[in-house]
Amino acid sequence: MSARILDGNQIASAIRQEVSAEAKALAASGLRPGLAVVLVGHNPASEIYVRGKVKSSEEVGLYSEKHTPPENATTEQLLALVNDLNRRDEIDGILVQLPLPPQVDSKRVLLAVDPAKDVDGFHPMNVGYLSTQRPGLVPCTPNGVMEILRRSGIEVAAKEAVVIGRSDIVGKPMAMLLLNANATVTVCHSKTHDLPAVCRRADILVAAIGRAGMITRDFVKLGATVIDVGMNKITDRAEFDRYFKGNEKREAAFAKNGSTLVGDVDPAVVEVASALTPVPGGVGPLTIAMLMSNTVRAAKLRRGAAVAV
């Protein structure tokens, strides 16, 4: 068998179109949802992410602005900026791009964001809303995974789901969303005994550990759905050959760039899974699409508009 490839670009495009229609409808009633992104210093990866977020905001009709405090900004300066954005009614979403420089107390800054504007879904209040199934803002990546499953017609209720990774950003909220959707959920981590055996129980396996190709065929039950949240850059030729030898498209890109991306899942899993998200082009595009969706959701929730839970 060969897995069905779940096209994240296609699903993200559909979500962006829906968000754009919602944004237009809100604008017609005099409300244009607004997103403020805070980018401290000059982290090249962060700059690329932020550029994508601002561009996507404009494409779907959201108001967006970027704040770029210097690399040496203090915790107090960032708290002042966040508090100013909290007060501004035309800003519905605030996103503080991580990582912040080492001299900044990241937890204090993130905690200062108004939970009603916390489009990343990281604030403890939104975490609490998620765990108690109240309307709130949900972290973008796990929320995007749920959209992939839903829009691909993959049943979650009564299925056994295994999440590999327990981060506050992906693993824990992913487990909560699957549990809320009536899956039986196991969360695995570095101390899990016999990880492959636990993973082989999964009807839905979500890998979010940040280790290139760690999840091999031995971890996957025949016919499982495998969601690969990982995005790892590889530059070593031997490692490239292990995953992509003979793949002409990848060979050409590797020769040109000297690197390629691989997920946490070995591409050979395609031979045992029934469905698989690719890297790139799987979960990644959904993260920004769900950020746009969260900004519109925040605009509605803040004003008491009807929003589906």
- Asked whether residue 251 is assigned to any structural domain, the reply reads yes
> For 138-182, what is each residue's pLDDT tens digit?
999 999 999 999 999 999 999 999 999 999 999 999 999 999 999
Overall number of domains in the chain = 2
Tell me the CATH number at 247: 3.40.50.720
To which residue do tokens 């760039």 refer?
Answer: 257
The number of beta carbons lying within 10 Å of the beta carbon of residue 192 is: 16
Q: Which residues have CB under 8 Å from 29's CB, separation 6+?
A: none
Distance CA 215, CA 195 (A): 10
Domain shared by 145 and 112, yes or no:
no
Q: How confident is the model at residue 309 (pLDDT cuts 50, 70, 90)?
A: very low
Domain shared by 185 and 262, yes or no:
yes
pTM of the model: 0.94
Residue 215: strand, helix, or coil: strand
- Asked whether residue 6 is assigned to any structural domain, the reply reads no
- Asked whether residue 132 is assigned to any structural domain, the reply reads no
Domain shared by 183 and 86, yes or no:
no
Domain shared by 203 and 261, yes or no:
yes
Domain shared by 193 and 70, yes or no:
no
> For 54-65, what is each residue's pLDDT tens digit?
899 999 999 999
- Asked whether residue 200 is assigned to any structural domain, the reply reads yes
Q: Which residues have CB under 8 Å from 88's CB, separation 6+?
A: 36
Q: DSSP secondary-structure letter at 230? A: -
Asked if 16 contacts 56 with a C-beta cutoff of 8 angstroms, the reply is: yes
Active site residues: 53, 97, 120
* Residues spanned by the domain of 151: 140-286
To which residue do tokens 């962006």 refer?
Answer: 16
- Asked whether residue 129 is assigned to any structural domain, the reply reads no
Q: How confident is the model at residue 45 (pLDDT cuts 50, 70, 90)?
A: confident
Q: What is the largest CA-CA distance in the chain?
A: 57
Among 69, 85, 118, identify where a domain stops.
118
